[in-house]
Chains A and B, each alone.
Chain A
Amino acid sequence: MTDTATPLYNPQDLMRAQVRWRMLETVFWVSALLPFFVAETYLVLCTQIAIAALFALSLDLLVGYSGIVSLGHAVYFGIGAYTAGLLAKYGWGEPLSGLLLAGLVAMLFGYLISFIMVRITHFALIMVTIGLCLLFEEFGNQAHDITGGHDGLQGVRMWRLFGTFRWDLYGFTAYAYSLVVVFLCFLVIRRIINSPFGLSLRGMRENARRMPAIGAPSKQRLQIVYTISATFAGIAGGLLAQTTQFVALDALSFQRSAEVLVMLVLGGAGRLYGGIIGSIIFLVARDQLASNNPQYWYFWLGLLLILVIIFLPNGILGGIAHLLSRRKKS
């Protein structure tokens, strides 16, 4: 046994070390600026990645941090997209306020739907989230006069960003705008995760049964995180509508719900950067594979997913972390 007279560590330092900003994070976010200089033709793809990353981050709050699965998260993504799209179509093309409203409307829906979500768990929860997603998708399809149905929402006209920057063909403005919004949202989500509230989310993930026995109002916490998650999903959807000036019905689709979950699981759920890495891998792979042989893309995705789940159950980031910790020990 070690000498207990001298403390081995300062508990506050331990906690600080858990949440401190790492050098690698700075490297990551600075390198997100590289496409401006070296990959101009890929700016559109980079914008899509940034948006998908925010969407995956919002889902991570539920799946990775709170331990609740959702296969219908596109509901909030779609609501955000249609809110931003409809605003711009009917005369209010100011991007920032439009995006804020997209988030707020998704937040409202998230809050209302959370009353159902906290009453069910596991398998039932998966089924209900799928059901909700199908419901909203069909509503979007039927409400052709409002949403454009399967033809998509046409006629979205965005005003210049800050009244100055044009939405150029290469997507400079779109990527810069998306990157800044995603980074700011990331900072907020990072703070949430590292707060006492975030710790209580992990508590629910780790052991929902213990939570009431330590005096935690689990249902209330779940409703809050569900609402927060929906808000960020809505902002991601709003970004897509604004930067593409179009909303396709698939913004609400079950497929999009499933894809974002796949991205998150590939990268590693509950690891903050898992969803980001996952969306990079997913969208870059799709871009490369689909350009050669579009019909085979799902084959490779399926294979990748199976391999990752079997060999890296904590996702690609989880696998890397495991390797690093083994190296350190030996």
Chain B
Amino acid sequence: MSTSVLSTRNLQKKFGQLVVARDISIDLPKGARYALIGPNGAGKTTLINLLTGMLAPDGGQVFLDEADITTLPPSERVKRGLVRTFQINTLFPNISPLEAVTLVVCERKGEAGTWWRGLPGYGASIEEAYETLKSIGLGDHVDRPTRQLAYGQQRLLEIALALATKPHVLLLDEPAAGVPKGESQELFTAIAGLSSDISILFIEHDMDVVFRFASRIIVMVSGGILVEGAPAEISADKRVHEVYLGSAHHA
């Protein structure tokens, strides 16, 4: 456990009678590129909500850098470097990408509580926001209201907002959701190119992408972890074929 940046012990969560998290224990080592897969309703997004504090677990613990963060509010976890993106665009429609990312940078630097100084006084933060947008390929689209961006650009902004917090653990909830297959490869190439200081757990349905970019795969079924292993082990696992890959073929 000493090498884990993010881990859970026996996480439990129920919605009424429905068990959405069943005894979940995972360990994410430094620099990880882990994929989280499973059929719809397996509890993947719920797990991300539990990890980031957007849902409170009924039982179990979450550790970040070996500190128990189970009861820490979401914004505090972000300050410690545990950051997520959303499957459905969760952006700021009527402000520009430059303003949105500048806001994130200001939050990180503790400048966002300042009300007596105008934004132009924060040149360093604005420049950093611009560089972040440029690095992800949005350098030409910083000034329009976010709602006017193309869908694929909005997906990139979703990630840019997370990157601007300078995370060291990044949880990507279907970053390529809704993006055409060809472009999702590009998007994942950009993700794979991120610094190895950032440990990544991503949810993805496209198996080509998963097997290409994940160093290890966690398979979830009805709220619990079915199996965890290297891509080769997972693709050879019979149970995985039955409940996930198999059923996908039938469907």
Interface residues of A (CB under 8 A from B): 1-2, 4, 7-9, 11-12, 14-16, 18-19, 191-192, 194-200, 202-203, 206-207, 209-218, 221, 224, 228
The distance from the CB of A211 to the nearest CB of chain B, in whole angstroms, is: 8
B79 at the A interface (CB under 8 A): yes
In the assembled complex, 12 residue pairs joining A and B whose CB atoms fall closer than 8 Å, in A order, are: A195-B116, A195-B118, A196-B115, A196-B119, A196-B122, A199-B99, A210-B86, A212-B73, A212-B74, A213-B74, A215-B83, A224-B115
Interface residues of B (CB under 8 A from A): 52-54, 73-75, 78-79, 83-84, 86, 90-96, 98-100, 102-104, 106-108, 111-120, 122-123, 125-127, 129-130, 139-140, 142-143, 161-162, 164-165
- Would B92 and A210 count as touching, CB distance under 8 A? yes
A10's nearest neighbour on chain B, judged by CB, is: B130
CA distance A321 to B94 in the complex (A): 14
- Checking B84, B93, B119, B164 against A18 with a beta-carbon cut-off of 8 angstroms, the contacting residue is B119
- Would A12 and B123 count as touching, CB distance under 8 A? yes
Closest 4 CB pairs of A and B: A215-B78, A206-B92, A197-B115, A212-B74
Name, among B73, B86, B99, B102, the residue most crowded by chain A CB atoms within 10 Å (CB to CB).
B99
- Would B83 and A213 count as touching, CB distance under 8 A? yes
- Would B142 and A11 count as touching, CB distance under 8 A? yes
- Would B74 and A4 count as touching, CB distance under 8 A? no
- Checking B104, B111, B118, B142 against A194 with a beta-carbon cut-off of 8 angstroms, the contacting residue is B118
The distance from the CB of B101 to the nearest CB of chain A, in whole angstroms, is: 9
The distance from the CB of B9 to the nearest CB of chain A, in whole angstroms, is: 24
Residues of B within 8 Å of A203, CB to CB, are 92, 95, 100, 103
- Would B102 and A195 count as touching, CB distance under 8 A? no
- Checking B94, B100, B112 against A197 with a beta-carbon cut-off of 8 angstroms, the contacting residue is B112
The distance from the CB of B69 to the nearest CB of chain A, in whole angstroms, is: 14
Residues of B within 8 Å of A216, CB to CB, are 75, 103, 107, 112
- Would A215 and B108 count as touching, CB distance under 8 A? yes
Residues of B within 8 Å of A218, CB to CB, are 75
The distance from the CB of A138 to the nearest CB of chain B, in whole angstroms, is: 35
- Would A197 and B75 count as touching, CB distance under 8 A? no
The distance from the CB of B224 to the nearest CB of chain A, in whole angstroms, is: 26
Residues of B within 8 Å of A194, CB to CB, are 118-119
- Checking A200, A213, A221, A228 against B84 with a beta-carbon cut-off of 8 angstroms, the contacting residue is A213
The distance from the CB of B196 to the nearest CB of chain A, in whole angstroms, is: 23
CA distance A192 to B118 in the complex (A): 8
- Would B126 and A196 count as touching, CB distance under 8 A? no
- Would A215 and B103 count as touching, CB distance under 8 A? no
A194's nearest neighbour on chain B, judged by CB, is: B118
B146's nearest neighbour on chain A, judged by CB, is: A206
CA distance A206 to B165 in the complex (A): 19
Residues of B within 8 Å of A199, CB to CB, are 95, 99, 102-103, 106, 112, 119
Taking A196-B125, A206-B93 as known contacts, 8 extra A-B pairs with beta carbons closer than 8 A to each other, sorted by chain A number, are A15-B119, A196-B102, A210-B86, A212-B53, A213-B74, A215-B78, A215-B165, A228-B115
